[in-house]
Amino acid sequence: MEIFHCLYLIFVFSSMFIPLVFANDPYSQALVGLKSHVIDDFNSLDDWFVPSGENPPGKIYACSWSGVKCNKNNSIVVGLNLSTKGLAGELPGKYFRVFNELLDLNLSQNSFSGQFPVEIFNLSNLRSLDISRNNFSGHFPGGLHSLQNLVVLDAFSNSFSGPLPVEASQLQNLEVLNLAGSYFSGPIPFQYGSFKSLEFIHLAGNFLNGKIPPELGNLKTVTHMEIGYNSYQGSIPWQLGNMSEIQYLDIAGANLSGSIPKQLSNLTKLESLFLFKNHLTGKIPWEFSNMKALSSLDLSDNQLSGPIPESFVELKNLSLLSLMYNQMSGTVPEGLAQLPALEILFIWNNFFSGSLPENLGRNSKLRWVDVSTNNFVGSIPPDICSGGVLFKLILFSNNFTGSLSPSISNCSSLVRLRLEDNSFSGEIPLKFSHFPDISYIDLSRNKFTGGFPTDISQASKLEYFNVSNNPELGGMITPKTWSLPQLQNVSASACNITGTLPPFKSCKALTVIELKMNKLSGTIPGSISNCQALERIDLANNKLTGAIPEGLANIPDLGVLDLSHNNFSGPIPRNFGNCSSLVLLNVSFNDISGSIPSGKALKLMGSNAYVGNPRLCGAPLQSCAASIFGSKGSGKLTLVLLLCIGVVMFIAAALFGVFWFRRGSKGQWKMVSFLGLPRFKATDVLKSFNSTGAEEAMQPPQSGSICKVVLPTGITVSVKTIKWGAKGMKVMEEFIMRLGNARHKNLIRLLGFCHNNHQAYLLYDYLPNGNLSEKIRLKKDWSTKYRIVMGIARGLCFLHHDCYPAIPHGDLKSSNIVFDENMEPHLAEFGFKHLTELANGSIPATVSRRESGEFNNAIKEELYMDIYGFGEIILEILSNGRLTNAGTSIQSKPRDGLLREICSENEVGLSSSLQEDIKLILDVALLCTRTTPCDRPSMDDALKFLLRLSPPSKTAEL
C-alpha cells in the first residue's frame, strides 16, 4: 500500500513540475511537442528531453540539444538545424509560433511531407529558410512577403505545384532563391525581374511554360541563373544580355527555338553557358569571342548550322566546348588548338570536314576528345596526347587515313579508344604495357595489317577489344589473351587470322568471343568450359576440326553458338538438349553425324541450323529411321508416290492461288527465315490465317497488332503486321534483317518475315507465360525480382551496345516483357516503333553513311528513353506495381524515404542484409530516370552497377 502511495505522490509532483518547467522554457516545450509529432526512425532527436529536477530561472534546456542554436547567454533560440536527420511526417505549424527571434531554420534532406506550415512565415526575423530535399506538396503557401529579412530561400527538390510564388519578388534582401525540382507550372512571373539584391536564382526542373520574361534582364546583381529543364515557348530574350554580373547561365532542355541572340556576348563575366537540348537554329554568334571569361560552352543537341567561329581563338579560358548533335559544317579552326585551357572537345554528329588542327593537344591538356560521326579526313594530330591526361579519344565513323601516330602508342592515360569505321592502315602500334588503365579499344572496320597484337595480355584492365573487319590484319591469337582478368569481349572477325585457339585457362569475365570468317584451324580447347560467363561464341567460317566440346552445353548463360562452315565432326553432345539458355545454335555445313539431341530448343532452331551435314538426322531434319525411299526394292512404289504427291501439290497450289487472287493479292509474297531458325514458306504463313477452312476464322492481324498463329508445321508463333509502301520497303527490309539477327537469351526471337509490296507479317516465338504487367502485383521472392531486373538489363544492353548500329527498343514497358517456360524475361517488340516510323514516313527511309554511327540522330532520343523506361520498370518491380510511370515524381522524393517505403512494402527490415541490395537497385533506377537524358548512365554502365550485387540464392525471400 505504501508503494502505491509513493507512486501517486511522484505522479502528482511530476504533473506539477513539468508545466512549471515549460512555463519558464517555452522553447523546449515546443520542440518536445514537435518531436512527438514527427517520425524519427533513426532516433536522431533522442537528446531532446527535459531532465527531472528544478529548472533554474531563465535556463533553456533546448540550448544543449542537437540542432538547436541559442544566443550567447542561452536565453533565446536563434537557430534550428534538423538537416539530414532522417525525419519524416507532416510538420505541425503551431510549434513554431514561439520562435520569434529565430534567424536560421534548416529542415533540409529529410522526408517531411504534406502542406508546408504557413506559421513559419510569421517568423519575421528569419534570414535563412532551407527546406530543400523534402516532399512538401500542394501550392506554395501565401504569406512569404512577411519575411522581409530573408536572405536565403531554398526549397529545392520538393513536390510543390501550382504557380511560382509571386510574393518572393517583394523580398528585397533576398540573395538566394531556389525553387527548382518541384512541379511548379505556369510562366515565370515578370516580377522576378525586380529583385534588388538577388545573386542566385534556380527554377530548373519544373513544369514551367510560357515565354521567358525579358524583365529577367534587369537582374543586375545575379551571378548564377538556372531556369532550364522546363518547357517554354519562344526564343531566348535578348535582354538577358544586360545581366552584367552573371557568371553562370543555364537554360538547357527548355524547348527554346530561334537563334542565339548576339547580345549574350555582352556578358563579359560569364564563365559557363549551357543552352543544350533545345531547338536553337542559325549560326553561333561571332561576337561570343567577347566573353573572355568563358570556360564552359555547351550548345549541343540543337539545330545549329554553319562553322565554328574563327573568333573562338580569343576564348583563352575555354576548357569545355560541346557542339555535338547539331548540323554544323566546315572545318575546325586551327585557332582551337591554340586555346591553353581546352580540356574537353565534343563536336560529334555534325557535318564537319577537313583535317583536325595539326597542333591539337600541343598547347593544352586535353582530357576527352570526341569528333565521331563527321566527315573528317587526314591523320590523328601527332600531339593530341602530349598533355599526358587524355583518357578518352573517340574518332569513329569518319574518313581518317594513314597509320596511328606514335603519340597514341605512348598515351598511357587512355581509358577508352574508339577508331572504328575509318580507313586507318599499317600495323597496330599500341604498346599495351603502356596502357595501365585502358578498358575499351575498338579498331574495327579499318585497314590495319601486321597481325593480332602480341602483347595484349599486358593490358590488365582491358574489358572490350574489337579489331573485326580488318581483312589484311593476319597473325594469330596470342596464348595469354583469355587470361586478362576483366576481359569481357574479344571480336576479331574477318581479319585473316590463322593458327589455333589458345587454351582457356582463366577467363571468368569473358562473355563474347567473335572470330568468324578467319582461317583458324585445330580444335576448340575443352578448357573453354572454364569461361562460365560466356553468352556468345561465333567461330563460323573457319577451318576448325574435331568434336564439339561437351562443356559448351554447361555454360549457364550461353545464348548464341555459331560453329557453321567449319570441319567439325562427331555428334552434337547430348547435353545440348537440356541447354535452356540457347537461342541460336548453328552447326550447318560441317561433318556432324548422328542424331540431333532431343529438346525443344534444338528443334526450334530449324533445319537451317543443321543443313550441310549429310550424316546428321533427327528433327527438324529427316528422321533417323529407315525410309521406304531408301529401300532397293521400292523403286516403283517410290515413283508412284512421288507422282501422286506431285499431282496433289499442283492441285493444292492452284486452288490456293485462286483463293488468294480472289481475296485481292497485293503482289508476290516472299518469305525470309533467319539463319539457324525454322525455315518457313510464305504459303505456311498465309494458310495459317485460314486454317479452319472458314475464311473469317483466322484473319491476319491489323497493322501494329499481334495474334497467335499455329503454322502448318505445328509451330506456334506470334504474328505482327506492318504496312509499308514500295518506296521505303528496302530500308525497312534491312532494318527487319537487323532485328532478326539480334540474338540474345533475353530478346524474343524474330523467326522470319513474310511480305509483299504492301505489307509484312513478322513471325516471333510464342511465349505462353504472359508478361510482366500481368504479374507485377504478385508477390515474388528476391531471387525472382533480381533475375527479372538483370534479364531486362542484359537484353537492353545487348541492343544498345552489341548491335551495330545500336537498336533502340522504342517501347519499353512492363507489358513488353514476356516470360518463357522457365520464367526468364524476354524483351518483346524491340525496334518495332522505329519500324513503324519508317513505314509512316515520320523519319526518312534512306540509308546514309551518317546513320552508321553509335549515336544516330534518328534513334538517340529513343536510346535515352529506353534507359528512362528501364528505370521505371525497376521501380515497378521493387514496389510490386505501385510506382508505375513514376520516373519523374520520384526525382523530387528523398531517397531515404523512398527506400523506407520500398523496404516496408517488401517486408524488409532496416537490419536486413537485403536492404543494401534494394538500395543499390533503387540507386540505378534513380540514375536512369534523371530529368536530363545526358545525365543518365548508358545501359552498359547501368548493368555494371547491377553486377555489383551478388546473385541471391533461390530461397532468398523478401
pLDDT of 949: 72
Amino acid present at 436: P
pLDDT (average), residues 414-443: 92
d(CA 207, CA 255): 12
CATH of 772-946, one of 1.10.510.10, 3.60.20.10, 1.10.287.3510, 2.60.40.10: 1.10.510.10
Residue 237 has pLDDT above 60, yes or no: yes
pLDDT digits (tens, 9 = 90+) for 258-268: 999 999 999 99
Residue 281 has pLDDT above 90, yes or no: yes
d(CA 387, CA 385): 5
What would the grid cell of residue 573 be?
553432345
pLDDT (average), residues 418-424: 94
Sorting pLDDT into bands at 50, 70 and 90, what band is 37?
very high
Catalytic residue among 250, 811, 866, 917: 811
Sorting pLDDT into bands at 50, 70 and 90, what band is 427?
very high
pLDDT (average), residues 210-215: 97
pLDDT of 226: 96
Query: Among this protein's residues, is 250 annotated catalytic?
Result: no
The CATH number of the structural domain formed by 668-765 is: 3.30.200.20
Per the CB < 8 A criterion, the answer to whether 606 and 673 are in contact is yes
SS3 587: coil
Residue 656 has pLDDT above 70, yes or no: no
pLDDT of 844: 54
d(CA 73, CA 57): 13
pLDDT of 632: 41
d(CA 130, CA 123): 14
pLDDT (average), residues 237-266: 96
pLDDT digits (tens, 9 = 90+) for 825-882: 999 999 888 888 887 766 654 444 344 344 455 677 788 899 999 999 998 888 887 7
pLDDT of 70: 95
pLDDT of 958: 36
Residue 540 has pLDDT above 50, yes or no: yes
What would the grid cell of residue 835 be?
519500324
pLDDT digits (tens, 9 = 90+) for 386-419: 999 999 999 999 999 999 877 788 899 999 999 9
Residue 420 has pLDDT above 70, yes or no: yes
CATH of 2-89+98-113, one of 3.80.10.10, 3.40.710.10, 3.30.10.20, 3.30.70.890: 3.80.10.10
Amino acid present at 324: M
Spatial CA neighbour of 190 closest among 163, 210, 213? 213
The mean pLDDT of the chain is 84
Per the CB < 8 A criterion, the answer to whether 367 and 344 are in contact is yes
pLDDT (average), residues 905-910: 66
What residues contact 286, with CB distance under 8 A and at least 6 apart?
Answer: 262, 309, 311
d(CA 126, CA 150): 6
pLDDT of 856: 55
Residue 675 has pLDDT above 80, yes or no: no
pLDDT of 727: 67
pLDDT of 646: 52
pLDDT digits (tens, 9 = 90+) for 42-87: 899 999 998 876 566 668 999 999 999 999 999 999 999 999 999 9
pLDDT of 661: 38
Asked which of 16-25, 87-96, 97-106 is least confident by mean pLDDT, the reply is: 16-25
pLDDT of 664: 39
What would the grid cell of residue 159 be?
513536390
Residues of the chain within CATH 1.10.510.10 domain(s) are 772-946
Residues of the chain within CATH 3.80.10.10 domain(s) are 2-89+98-113
Residue 599 has pLDDT above 60, yes or no: yes
Residue 955 has pLDDT above 90, yes or no: no
Beta strand 399-402 with 375-378 is: parallel
Residue 242 has pLDDT above 70, yes or no: yes
pLDDT of 950: 62
Beta strand 591-592 with 104-106 is: unpaired
d(CA 262, CA 706): 53
pLDDT digits (tens, 9 = 90+) for 131-169: 999 989 999 999 999 999 999 999 998 989 999 999 999
pLDDT digits (tens, 9 = 90+) for 809-824: 999 998 899 988 778 8
- The share of the chain scoring above pLDDT 90, in percent, equals 55
pLDDT of 475: 94
d(CA 134, CA 132): 6
